[in-house]
Each structure stands twice: as structure tokens, then as C-alpha cells.
Amino acid sequence: MDIVEQIISGDVRATARLLRDIDDEIPTSKEILKELYPHTGKAYVIGFTGSPGVGKSTLVDQMAILYRKEGKTVGILAVDPTSPFSGGAILGDRIRMQRHFLDAGVFIRSLATRGHFGGLTRSTNDMVNVLDAMGKDIIIVETVGVGQDEVEIANSAHSTVLVTVPGMGDDIQAIKAGIMEIGNIFVVNKADREGSRKTIRELRNMIEIGCRRGGSNGWEPPIIETEALKSRGMEELHGAIEKHRSYLLSSGEDKWKEVIEKRVRIQLIETLKDQAFRTLLDRMEARGDSLDELVEKVVDKKSDPYTLVQEIISRELG
Amino acid sequence: MEKGRKLRILVAKPGLDGHDRGARVIARAFRDAGFEVVYTGCHQTPEQIVSTAIQEDVDIIGLSILSGAHTYSFPRIMELLKESNAQDISVIGGGIFPLEDIPKLKEIGIKEIFEPGAKLQDITDWVTTNIQPRQAVALKAR
Ligand SMILES: Nc1nc2c(ncn2[C@@H]2O[C@H](COP(=O)(O)OP(=O)(O)OP(=O)(O)O)[C@@H](O)[C@H]2O)c(=O)[nH]1
Ligand SMILES: [Mg+2]
């Protein structure tokens, strides 16, 4: 069996290895992705985002249990930050997802941002495709916990769950800016803490304003109060996700198509950007043009970034 | 090392005793050495450790031990790696070991044992020198 067949048949080792190659930008991984692509499109992708420590991993763990009870297989991609100083990372999301290790129906992979901004990693979408081709029914992506302006996940997932906790006024302010664009479902976790009701009220107000402005598109994001540590509110959250899925699927062809097109568009653009940049760099390198020299030129005021880039583009692509 | 390859390491603590300060300290040292460290905390069974190592595609497992858990867990982990056809994943240990156990552990394939006095720098240097991130997978089976 070659690696493509292994992955399609659900082989964990082969899948784990390919994910690494994709992350490390090994060129052969692109060839493998090409062959896997026809086998994608079956999984449902759910994103969990929110500030550090709000309980994303704990919630993801709980959702995995519920989907397993329905007999669905689950793939999880959990992103943590890379240290800008060393390039290393501590990936700790699995600490909250310990109970699945004997269950072949759950595959969990921890990822480091490696300098990528936006809440995901550079290749999260490719990895979602791999888990999809591997046959996972549900793919859950936990973004790095960095703040609410990290909206990349909204373009990658079918349903995005935005998690906050009581007393995070800043969070709510930040959500305000793009409330309808980010979350399809809102969770106020750690409801055992004081101020949960108030947070829910504030969120509800904001959602109402958003809906009135016409951002709702027929879906009013529900707010679910949870206490993930005690499994409280989990059925409700699961129900809300499933309701959003039915909403996408049942509102004619339109909504579903819209989401699919959005995901494909983003992936196309990202891949194009990535490859174009890489190709340019390779060609420059082949000519013996080094980035360092260009930096030098600009620093010495012999040129400026705009002229240099224009020159490179017209030389290499013109 | 292939261009862009990052070393991935699993830091785990088998056994029943509760605190993981030592494991946290070494996890941080590995991060500061530029590795991607999958950290899973205390109370890990050998089955958990090996299953995690495979899903995370790590190059090496670092086991932190306090209370003699090594006599069972180390051989069991080596056995499970073999069963999973994953012997290419290296295993090292750190913590308190009776001196006479160390040769036995090396015999079953534990690459290195670090005792409580070992400097963090020595441990990270050892990994950098001795462990290479693995080769890329081939598209077609050989
Ligand atoms: N009191 C309380 N604590 C909770 C609840 N849910 C999770 N926690 C705790 O909150 C802490 C962080 O939980 P995680 O699930 O790791 O949060 P996270 O959002 O994944 O964190 P990062 O990935 O680091 O951003 C842990 O100590 C959890 O046990 C809850 O409902 N109530
Ligand atoms: Mg987390």
C-alpha cells in the first residue's frame, strides 16, 4: 500500500507522518495532498476559538465524547503558540483530552503556530483535508488562544464556536467589532463563576444589534452557558452545533454552497500566496539574489522596498 | 537535518505520584532549545504514552520518573513501540533510578538516563546531538 491508500484506510501512523511533512513544508507532501483531495468533502468541521484559558480544550474534549456516542469518528487539531524567542513550543492542549487514547475513533494532533498569525497554523486547512480523507466524520479545530481578532477559523470551519467566560469585558468589546463574522455559536464557559448572567446579557445585546444591522443571514447565534469541567451544558452546545449544521444544509442549496465556496476560496488564495512567494524566493536564490542584500540596499538608502519588489516581480514574473 | 524540519518531543510522566514540576521544567527547557514539546502531564499509562507519541509523530519520548515506576513502565513502553512498529521513536528517561537498574534500562533500548543532578543544558544538548528529525515519507511504497 502506498501512503495515499494507507491514509484513506485510516492508518494512524501514516496520517501522523504526513501531517508532519505538511507542517514542515516537505515538497512531496503536496503531491500526496493532491491525491487525497478527491477523497475529501465528507467531514463536518467545527472551530473552537476564544482567549487563552477560557476552556476550549475542555469543551473540545466533551464534544468529542458526545460525537463518539453517536458513533461518529473525530479528528482534533489543537493549536498552541510557538515561542518567538526559541522557535520551540509547548503543546499542552492534550492534557484536557486524555480519555480518548484507547479509542481508535479519535485522532488528536497538537500544532504550533510557527510564526503564523490568525489563530491557526499555515497549513491547518491542508491538515483538515487529510483528516477528512482519512475518514473522520467530525473535525474539531481549536485555535490558539490569543484574542478575538483571530478570525481565520471562521473561514475554515463550517460552524465556529466562540468561547468566553464571565467577567471578560475586553473580550466582549473585541467581539463587538465583528460579532456576526466570527461566531455561529457563543459559549459562556465557567458559568460557575460570578457574572455569568451579565456576560450573557451583554452578548445577547450585541447579537441583537448585529442582527438588526442585517448581519444575521437568517441565523441568530445562540448563547450557551456551560461548565465544561462538570459537563454542564454539553448537550445544549452539541445541540446548537447540530442546529447550525441543519440550518446550513436546509436553507436551500445556497447557505451550504456559500460555506463550501468560502472555504475553497480561502484555501486557493492561501495556497497561491504561499506557492507564489516560495517560487519567487527560489528563483531569486537561483540567481544568487539574497534577501540580505536587498535589506542592505534599503537600509543604505540605495533603494526602497517598493522599487525593489517591483523590479523582482517584473524580472521573475513579467 | 532536512530544511524546515522541527524536532518533536513528547514529555510524559508515567506512574501514580501527583506532581509534575520536574516534567514541566524539562518541557520548558526543550521549548527553549527550539523543539516542539507535546506535554501531557501526570499519570500517564504506557498505552497512553505510546498512542500519543504516534499520533503526534514525535522523534523522541522523554519520560520523567519519581517513584520507581520505571521497572514496569519503561519495558512496557518499549514493547508497545515495537508492537506498533514505531521503534524509530527514541526514549530517554530522567529522575531517580537505582544505580543497578540503569544498565538494564539501556539494554531494553532506553537511549539515555539522566539523574537528578543532570543540568538542563546537558539534557537538551544530548537531544540535539543524538536525535534527528525523521525523514520525509515517500509518495509511493518502496
Ligand atoms: N471553574 C471552571 N474551570 C474550568 C471550566 N472549564 C475549564 N476550566 C479550567 O480552565 C483551565 C483552562 O482550560 P483549557 O480547556 O485548557 O482552556 P483553553 O481555552 O483550551 O486554554 P488554552 O488552550 O491555553 O488557550 C483549566 O484549568 C480547566 O480545568 C469550568 O467550566 N469552570
Ligand atoms: Mg487549549
Could you please report the per-residue DSSP string of A201-239?
HHHHHHHHHHHHTT--TT----EEE-BGGGTBTHHHHHH
* All residues at 6 or more sequence positions from A111 whose CB lies less than 8 Å from its CB, including other chains: A23, A77, A78, A79, A80, A91, A121, A124, A127
So what's the pLDDT on residue A178? 63
Q: Cβ separation of B86 and A13 shorter than 8 Å?
A: yes
Which residues of chain A lie closer than 8 angstroms to B141, CB-CB?
1-3
Grid cell at residue A69? 456516542
Beta strands A185-188 and A159-164 are: parallel
- Whether A115 and chain B come into contact, CB under 8 Å, resolves to no
In eight-state DSSP terms, residue A99 is: G
Q: At B65, is the secondary structure helix, strand, or coil?
A: strand
Q: Give A192's DSSP letter.
A: T
pLDDT of res. B30: 97
CB pairs below 8 Å between A and B: how many?
108
Interface contact flag, A109 B55, Cβ < 8 Å: yes
Distance CA A56, CA A79 (A): 11
Summarize pLDDT for B80-138 with one digit per residue, the tens. 999 999 999 999 999 888 888 889 999 999 999 998 889 999 999 999 999 999 888 87
Return left, alpha or beta for B90; rule: phi > 0 is left, psi -120 to 50 is alpha, else beta. beta
Alpha helices in chain B (DSSP H): 21-32, 46-55, 70-83, 101-107, 120-130
The CATH code of domain B8-135 reads 3.40.50.280
Q: pTM of whole model > 0.90? A: yes
What does the pLDDT average to over B61-74?
82
Task: Indicate the SS3 state at residue A106.
Answer: strand
Fold of the domain built from segment(s) A41-251: Rossmann fold (3.40.50)
- Of chain B residues 19-58, which have a CB less than 8 A from chain A? 27-28, 30-41, 47-48, 51-52, 54-57
Q: Which residues, including other chains, have CB under 8 Å from residue A228's CB and lie 6 or more apart?
A: A55, A58, A59, A61, A62, A189, A190, A234
Most confident of A259-273, B19-33, B46-60: B46-60
- Whether B1 has its CB under 8 Å from any CB of chain A: the answer is no
C-alpha cell at A30: 503536496
Identify any residues that bridge with B9 across adjacent strands, giving them in sequence order: B37, B60
Whole-angstrom distance, CA of residue A50 vs CA of residue A54: 7
Question: Would you say A123 and A19 are in contact if contact means Cβ atoms under 8 Å apart?
Answer: no
Residues 6+ apart with CB under 8 A from A131: A15, A43, A75, A77, A107, A139
**CA-closest candidate to residue A144, choices A86, A78, A46, A83:** A78
pLDDT in tens, chain A (318 residues): 799 999 999 999 999 999 999 999 998 999 999 999 999 999 999 999 988 999 999 999 999 999 999 999 999 999 999 999 999 999 999 999 998 888 999 999 999 999 888 888 989 999 999 999 999 999 999 998 766 566 788 889 999 999 999 987 666 666 666 655 678 999 999 999 999 999 999 888 888 887 777 666 788 899 999 999 999 999 999 999 999 999 999 877 788 898 899 899 989 998 998 888 888 888 888 888 888 888 999 999 999 999 999 998 898 887
On the question of pLDDT at B142 being above 50, the answer is no
If you measure CA to CA, which chain A residue comes closest to B25?
A: A90
Q: Which of A28, A82, A94 sits opposite B136 (nearest CB)?
A: A28
Pick the more confident residue, B4 or B122. B122
Side-by-side strand order, sheet with A159-164: A106-112, A74-80, A138-142, A44-50, A159-164, A185-188, A223-225
CA of A279 to the centre of ligand 1 (A): 42
The secondary structure of residue A114, as a DSSP letter, is T
**Residue A286 buriedness (CB in 10 A; 0-12 / 13-18 / 19+):** exposed
CB contact under 8 A, A90 and B27: yes
Q: CA B7 to CA B30: how far, in whole Å?
A: 10
Residue reference for cell 470551519: A157
Contact A29 B136 (CB under 8 A): yes
Poorest-pLDDT segment among A23-32, A273-282, B25-34, B56-65: A273-282
Q: Which residue has the cell 450573557?
A: A200
- CA atoms A143, A149, A152, A155: torsion sign: positive
Is the CB of residue B61 less than 8 Å away from at least one CB of chain A? no
Domain ranges of chain A: 41-251, 269-317
**A87, B2: Cβ pair inside 8 Å?**
no
Residue nearest to atom 3 of ligand 1 (CA): A190
Of A35, A94, A114, the CB nearest to B40: A94
- Nearest residue in chain B measured CA to CA from A19: B57
Q: Give contacts of B86 with chain A, Cβ < 8 Å.
A: 13
CA distance B140 to B137: 9
For residue B11, which amino acid is it?
Answer: V
Model-level ipTM above the cut of 0.95:
no
Would you call A278 helix, strand, or coil by DSSP? helix
Segment holding A314, helix H or strand E: helix A305-316
Number of Cβ within a 10 Å radius of residue A121 = 25
Q: In angstroms, what is the span from residue A190 Cα to ligand 1's centroid? A: 8
DSSP type of residue A178: T
Tell me, in angstroms, the distance from the centre of ligand 1 to residue A227's CA: 10
A56 C-beta closer than 6 A to ligand 1:
yes
Question: pLDDT band for position B1 (50/70/90)?
Answer: very low
Write down the domain spans for chain B: 8-135
Q: How many CB atoms lie within 10 A of CB A272?
A: 10
Q: What pLDDT is stored for residue A161 in this prediction?
A: 95
Grid coordinates representing A249 are 444544509
